[in-house]
Structure 1
């Protein structure tokens, strides 16, 4: 009877993932994931993709109402999700988040450290120290703290997939603030370094590095007349969508990438070719 129920659940989750347009990875069914920066945009889309694959998802972000709304939408679509407010630049809040997440879904199998932002260009001569530190904390320190908080349980269980979030700004100098570019470049190297440390424990650490992604905030900020000029930067002829990044993260979370670690996937429409 138990086997029949498992098969039924697998079929249900596979159908849900297919219906939502996400790739299907049956090995993810029944696993747990925590995504930081999950109230909107790429983080929220990744949470939806994981939930559609049968993953029990914990969402975390500063905006309590937004993260709860996203979790509720996932549940309404048939997924399993809970949301908690947390400032992921604060160690105490991440430790509290770990306790809440473990109580809600059990030990975390997949960590998406996606908190970030602050890339708006500010000339370096006009950037004050507080601004610089704030952007580095939001992007790099938050990644370090999330990994450090959830890694011990993965090491103990000798399994886990950690996915960090960088940016094309960390690959190429461009229009982003220098603080943001430096922080994202730091995320790239941090990912490789940790991957080298923890591979012996069965834990994989990889990175997704998006270029221009049409999130809700970007849609509001980019004037329609600038879009054709932006599109010309990408060999594939379009701006990215959150689902493009979510699908890369989904692959890295699954056993389909079981022999990949320390890797950066540039979700950049061909703008980055390394």
Structure 2
């Protein structure tokens, strides 16, 4: 399907792994110009090469840590040098750890909040003025079903993702009259099926052993409470399924859609 995205400049944060990588590659397949943002230089260069192979009009990797307050403006400047930014995909996020709120260390809360909400606010704030000037743009935030129902043992992460959903809705009201659409995708447990999709910094990289460490010492009973049943016979979405929705929401075919939070959850919230 031709979504008429050829030549449009799209920023994708967290583009070196999993969902972000799948989104960047899908936009490339439509002939968009890609600004792939991440921390892993080697993985970033690989994504750029793959984007060009897929048909991207242009592709550039910007090495940046979005928790750095100055990173968003630097990324926006690099993107505008390529051309007017038509699409922003705020994909960076993830839980820092896991556990019960009553047992949490308040010193750790800011990390979860900043990674999941602060990065979205700063990146959006950096690209929005130019979109407003042009009266055109699409912003897609990656939230989580954790922000809809709360993930057991992930209290601050869930709250931060809920804030991303709320920000999506209020910003859509604010900038809709200016020709800018803002939507959000809330996946459940998404994983890539491509072994090439896990950069060194990814939580899903087997070498990092992130999830075993995060839930070390958790009882089987509590782990069972974390599970949600889907109705489609498999536990999680693929990164490609999330990317397909992002591609549609960025296109003019979704021109009358804004302020929405779409669960990609296999019916687990039913």
Give me the TM-score of the superposition, normalised by structure 1.
0.83
Q: Do 2:28 and 2:54's aligned partners in 1 also have CA atoms closer than 8 Å?
A: no
Secondary structure, aligned partner of 2:4:
helix
Is the counterpart of residue 159 in structure 1 residue 136 in structure 2? yes
Spell out, residue by residue over 1:2-36, the C-alpha distance to the aligned partner (whole angstroms, 9 max, x if none).
Answer: xxxxxxxxxxxxxxxxxxxxxx2332112110011
Is the counterpart of residue 98 in structure 1 residue 98 in structure 2? no
Considering Cα pairs closer than 8 Å and 6+ residues apart, tell me whether 1 or 2 has the greater RCO: 2
Q: Do 1:111 and 1:161's aligned partners in 2 also have CA atoms closer than 8 Å?
A: yes
Size of the alignment, in residue pairs?
A: 245
Q: Which residue of 1 aligns with 2:147?
A: 170
Question: For 1:97-246, what aligned pairs fall within 5 Å after superposition?
Answer: 97-103=75-81, 105-118=82-95, 120-215=97-192, 216=198, 217-218=203-204, 220=206, 233-238=229-234, 239-246=236-243
Root mean square deviation, CA, Å: 2.2
Equivalent residue in structure 2 for 1:58, among 32, 35, 47: 35
What CA distance in whole angstroms lies between the structure 2 residues aligned with 1:50 and 1:98? 18
Secondary structure, aligned partner of 2:70:
helix
Spell out, residue by residue over 1:57-84, the C-alpha distance to the aligned partner (whole angstroms, 9 max, x if none).
Answer: 1011122222222112222333231111
Give me the TM-score of the superposition, normalised by structure 2.
0.84
Deviation at 1:175, TM superposition (A): 2.7
What CA distance in whole angstroms lies between the structure 2 residues aligned with 1:137 and 1:266? 22
Secondary structure, aligned partner of 2:88:
strand
Spell out, residue by residue over 1:173-196, the C-alpha distance to the aligned partner (whole angstroms, 9 max, x if none).
Answer: 233511100000000000001000
- 5+ residue gaps, structure 2, are 193-197, 213-219
- 5+ residue gaps, structure 1, are 1-23
Q: Do 2:23 and 2:246's aligned partners in 1 also have CA atoms closer than 8 Å?
A: yes
Q: Do 2:3 and 2:253's aligned partners in 1 also have CA atoms closer than 8 Å?
A: no
Task: Determine which structure has the larger helix proportion and give its number.
Answer: 1
What CA distance in whole angstroms lies between the structure 2 residues aligned with 1:230 and 1:178? 12
